Protein backbone atom coordinates (compact mmCIF):
# COMPACT_ATOMS: atom_id res chain seq x y z
CA UNK A 1 0.00 0.00 0.00
CA UNK A 2 1.18 3.52 -0.76
CA UNK A 3 2.17 5.67 2.19
CA UNK A 4 -0.06 8.73 2.17
CA UNK A 5 1.08 12.02 3.64
CA UNK A 6 -1.41 14.24 5.41
CA UNK A 7 -1.32 17.84 4.15
CA UNK A 8 -3.38 20.93 4.79
CA UNK A 9 -5.50 22.69 2.16
CA UNK A 10 -2.45 24.78 1.26
CA UNK A 11 -0.41 21.61 0.71
CA UNK A 12 1.80 22.02 3.77
CA UNK A 13 2.70 19.61 6.57
CA UNK A 14 1.01 21.90 9.09
CA UNK A 15 -1.33 24.90 9.08
CA UNK A 16 0.06 28.06 7.47
CA UNK A 17 0.50 31.15 9.66
CA UNK A 18 1.67 34.62 8.57
CA UNK A 19 1.89 37.89 10.42
CA UNK A 20 1.51 41.22 8.65
CA UNK A 21 1.78 44.21 10.96
CA UNK A 22 -1.19 44.07 13.30
CA UNK A 23 -2.67 40.89 11.79
CA UNK A 24 -1.98 37.19 12.17
CA UNK A 25 -3.62 35.04 9.50
CA UNK A 26 -3.75 31.30 10.11
CA UNK A 27 -5.14 28.27 8.35
CA UNK A 28 -7.66 26.50 10.61
CA UNK A 29 -7.04 22.92 9.46
CA UNK A 30 -8.74 21.38 12.51
CA UNK A 31 -12.20 22.89 11.97
CA UNK A 32 -14.94 20.35 11.20
CA UNK A 33 -17.93 21.57 9.20
CA UNK A 34 -21.33 20.00 8.54
CA UNK A 35 -24.41 21.51 6.94
CA UNK A 36 -27.70 21.14 8.76
CA UNK A 37 -31.07 21.58 7.05
CA UNK A 38 -34.63 21.37 8.32
CA UNK A 39 -36.85 18.78 6.73
CA UNK A 40 -40.45 19.53 5.79
CA UNK A 41 -42.57 19.57 8.95
CA UNK A 42 -39.44 19.00 11.07
CA UNK A 43 -38.90 20.59 14.44
CA UNK A 44 -36.29 23.27 14.92
CA UNK A 45 -33.04 21.50 15.78
CA UNK A 46 -30.87 22.56 18.71
CA UNK A 47 -27.64 20.62 18.18
CA UNK A 48 -25.95 19.87 21.49
CA UNK A 49 -28.25 22.47 23.11
CA UNK A 50 -27.19 25.33 20.80
CA UNK A 51 -29.98 27.66 19.66
CA UNK A 52 -29.34 28.19 15.95
CA UNK A 53 -29.05 31.78 14.66
CA UNK A 54 -31.25 33.64 12.23
CA UNK A 55 -30.18 35.49 9.05
CA UNK A 56 -26.77 37.14 9.36
CA UNK A 57 -26.04 35.41 12.65
CA UNK A 58 -23.30 33.28 14.17
CA UNK A 59 -23.46 31.70 17.63
CA UNK A 60 -21.23 29.46 19.69
CA UNK A 61 -21.68 27.30 22.75
CA UNK A 62 -21.23 23.77 23.99
CA UNK A 63 -18.03 23.28 22.02
CA UNK A 64 -19.60 24.06 18.63
CA UNK A 65 -20.65 27.10 16.62
CA UNK A 66 -23.15 27.67 13.81
CA UNK A 67 -24.00 30.28 11.22
CA UNK A 68 -27.10 30.78 9.11
CA UNK A 69 -26.71 29.93 5.41
CA UNK A 70 -30.32 30.12 4.19
CA UNK A 71 -33.92 29.58 5.31
CA UNK A 72 -33.87 26.49 7.52
CA UNK A 73 -30.16 25.91 6.81
CA UNK A 74 -26.98 26.32 8.85
CA UNK A 75 -23.31 25.43 8.74
CA UNK A 76 -22.23 23.91 12.04
CA UNK A 77 -18.59 24.17 13.15
CA UNK A 78 -16.66 21.93 15.54
CA UNK A 79 -13.28 23.45 16.45
CA UNK A 80 -10.67 20.71 16.69
CA UNK A 81 -13.08 18.16 15.17
CA UNK A 82 -11.76 17.68 11.63
CA UNK A 83 -10.29 14.24 12.35
CA UNK A 84 -13.50 12.78 13.77
CA UNK A 85 -16.93 12.00 12.30
CA UNK A 86 -18.52 15.28 13.32
CA UNK A 87 -21.31 14.96 10.73
CA UNK A 88 -22.26 11.62 12.27
CA UNK A 89 -22.31 13.17 15.74
CA UNK A 90 -24.47 16.03 14.47
CA UNK A 91 -26.88 13.62 12.75
CA UNK A 92 -27.24 11.68 16.02
CA UNK A 93 -28.00 14.95 17.86
CA UNK A 94 -30.49 16.11 15.18
CA UNK A 95 -32.12 12.96 13.75
CA UNK A 96 -35.03 14.88 12.17
CA UNK A 97 -32.72 17.13 10.10
CA UNK A 98 -30.59 16.52 7.03
CA UNK A 99 -26.86 16.61 7.73
CA UNK A 100 -24.07 16.65 5.15
CA UNK A 101 -20.32 16.42 5.81
CA UNK A 102 -18.61 19.62 4.60
CA UNK A 103 -15.15 19.57 6.22
CA UNK A 104 -13.18 18.54 3.13
CA UNK A 105 -14.99 20.99 0.83
CA UNK A 106 -14.09 24.18 2.70
CA UNK A 107 -11.11 25.89 4.28
CA UNK A 108 -11.24 28.38 7.14
CA UNK A 109 -8.73 31.16 7.64
CA UNK A 110 -8.72 32.91 11.00
CA UNK A 111 -7.59 36.53 11.18
CA UNK A 112 -6.49 37.89 14.54
CA UNK A 113 -6.05 41.64 14.93
CA UNK A 114 -3.40 42.81 17.37
CA UNK A 115 -4.33 46.42 16.62
CA UNK A 116 -7.96 46.37 17.81
CA UNK A 117 -11.43 46.12 16.31
CA UNK A 118 -10.99 49.06 13.93
CA UNK A 119 -8.17 47.23 12.17
CA UNK A 120 -10.48 44.28 11.42
CA UNK A 121 -13.02 46.73 9.99
CA UNK A 122 -10.33 48.24 7.74
CA UNK A 123 -9.34 44.81 6.49
CA UNK A 124 -12.96 43.87 5.76
CA UNK A 125 -13.34 47.08 3.74
CA UNK A 126 -10.41 46.04 1.53
CA UNK A 127 -11.67 42.48 1.06
CA UNK A 128 -15.45 42.39 0.63
CA UNK A 129 -18.46 44.53 -0.14
CA UNK A 130 -20.24 44.32 3.22
CA UNK A 131 -21.69 47.10 5.34
CA UNK A 132 -18.96 47.34 7.98
CA UNK A 133 -21.43 48.93 10.39
CA UNK A 134 -23.15 45.55 10.62
CA UNK A 135 -20.00 43.47 11.13
CA UNK A 136 -20.02 43.12 14.89
CA UNK A 137 -19.29 39.98 16.93
CA UNK A 138 -21.86 37.32 16.05
CA UNK A 139 -22.26 38.49 12.43
CA UNK A 140 -21.92 36.09 9.49
CA UNK A 141 -22.67 36.46 5.80
CA UNK A 142 -21.90 34.98 2.42
CA UNK A 143 -20.30 37.41 0.00
CA UNK A 144 -17.83 37.67 -2.86
CA UNK A 145 -14.10 38.08 -2.33
CA UNK A 146 -12.33 38.76 -5.61
CA UNK A 147 -13.83 36.00 -7.80
CA UNK A 148 -14.71 33.62 -4.96
CA UNK A 149 -17.79 33.06 -2.82
CA UNK A 150 -16.89 33.08 0.89
CA UNK A 151 -18.46 33.18 4.32
CA UNK A 152 -17.24 36.02 6.55
CA UNK A 153 -17.75 35.54 10.30
CA UNK A 154 -16.97 38.07 13.01
CA UNK A 155 -16.09 35.76 15.89
CA UNK A 156 -15.14 38.58 18.30
CA UNK A 157 -13.94 42.18 18.24
CA UNK A 158 -10.43 41.08 17.24
CA UNK A 159 -11.21 37.87 15.31
CA UNK A 160 -12.58 37.37 11.81
CA UNK A 161 -12.95 34.07 9.95
CA UNK A 162 -13.12 33.70 6.18
CA UNK A 163 -14.37 30.32 4.95
CA UNK A 164 -14.01 29.51 1.26
CA UNK A 165 -13.83 26.62 -1.14
CA UNK A 166 -10.95 24.29 -0.38
CA UNK A 167 -10.11 24.09 -4.08
CA UNK A 168 -9.37 27.85 -4.00
CA UNK A 169 -7.35 27.79 -0.76
CA UNK A 170 -4.19 29.19 -2.35
CA UNK A 171 -6.02 32.03 -4.08
CA UNK A 172 -7.92 32.91 -0.93
CA UNK A 173 -4.71 32.82 1.17
CA UNK A 174 -3.03 35.14 -1.35
CA UNK A 175 -5.94 37.61 -1.23
CA UNK A 176 -6.01 37.70 2.58
CA UNK A 177 -2.27 37.99 3.15
CA UNK A 178 -1.83 40.64 0.45
CA UNK A 179 -4.69 42.76 1.80
CA UNK A 180 -3.15 42.62 5.29
CA UNK A 181 0.27 43.50 3.87
CA UNK A 182 -1.21 46.49 1.95
CA UNK A 183 -2.76 47.79 5.17
CA UNK A 184 0.61 47.42 6.91
CA UNK A 185 2.39 49.29 4.09
CA UNK A 186 -0.18 52.07 4.26
CA UNK A 187 0.39 52.58 7.98
CA UNK A 188 4.19 52.62 7.71
Got the DSSP string for 1-68?
Answer: -PPP----TTSSSS--EEEETTEEEEE-TT-EEEEEEPPTTPPPP-GGGPPPP-TTBEEEETTEEEEE
Residues of the chain with pLDDT > 70: what percent? 97
Position 10 in a domain: no
Do the strands 73-78 and 23-27 form a parallel or antiparallel pair, or are they unpaired?
A: unpaired
Position 11 in a domain: no
In angstroms, the first-to-last Cα distance of the chain is 53
Residue 113 has pLDDT above 70, yes or no: yes
Residue 49 has pLDDT above 70, yes or no: yes
Q: Which pLDDT band holds residue 116 (cuts at 50, 70, 90)?
A: confident
Residue 29: the pLDDT is: 95
Position 77 in a domain: yes
pTM recorded for the entire structure? 0.93
Residue 5 has pLDDT above 90, yes or no: no
The total of structural domains in the chain comes to: 1
Residue 24: the pLDDT is: 97
Residue 108 has pLDDT above 80, yes or no: yes
Instruction: Tell me the mean pLDDT in the region 18-37.
Output: 96
Judge contact between 162 and 151, C-beta under 8 A: yes
* Domain with 144 in it: 17-187
Q: For 18-37, give one letter per residue: b (16+ CB within 10 A) or e.
A: eebbbbebebbbebbbbbbb
Among 8-22, 58-72, 75-89, 158-172, the range scoring the smallest mean pLDDT is: 8-22
Residue 188: the pLDDT is: 47
Position 76 in a domain: yes
Residue 186 has pLDDT above 80, yes or no: no
Residue 19 has pLDDT above 50, yes or no: yes
Residue 132: the pLDDT is: 85
Strands lying side by side in the sheet with 64-70? 58-61, 64-70, 73-78, 32-37, 98-101
Residue 6: the pLDDT is: 76
Domain CATH code at residue 167: 3.30.1360.120
Position 91 in a domain: yes
Instruction: Tell me the mean pLDDT in the region 153-177.
Output: 96
Position 12 in a domain: no
Q: Which pLDDT band holds residue 72 (cuts at 50, 70, 90)?
A: very high
Position 52 in a domain: yes
Name which residue leads in pLDDT, 53 or 3.
53
Residue 42 has pLDDT above 50, yes or no: yes
Position 141 in a domain: yes
Amino acid sequence: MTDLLETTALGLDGPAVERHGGFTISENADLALASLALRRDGTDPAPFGLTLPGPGGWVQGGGIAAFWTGPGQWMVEAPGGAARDFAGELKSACPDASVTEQTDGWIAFEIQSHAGANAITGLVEKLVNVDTGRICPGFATRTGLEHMSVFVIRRSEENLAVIGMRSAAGTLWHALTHAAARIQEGSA
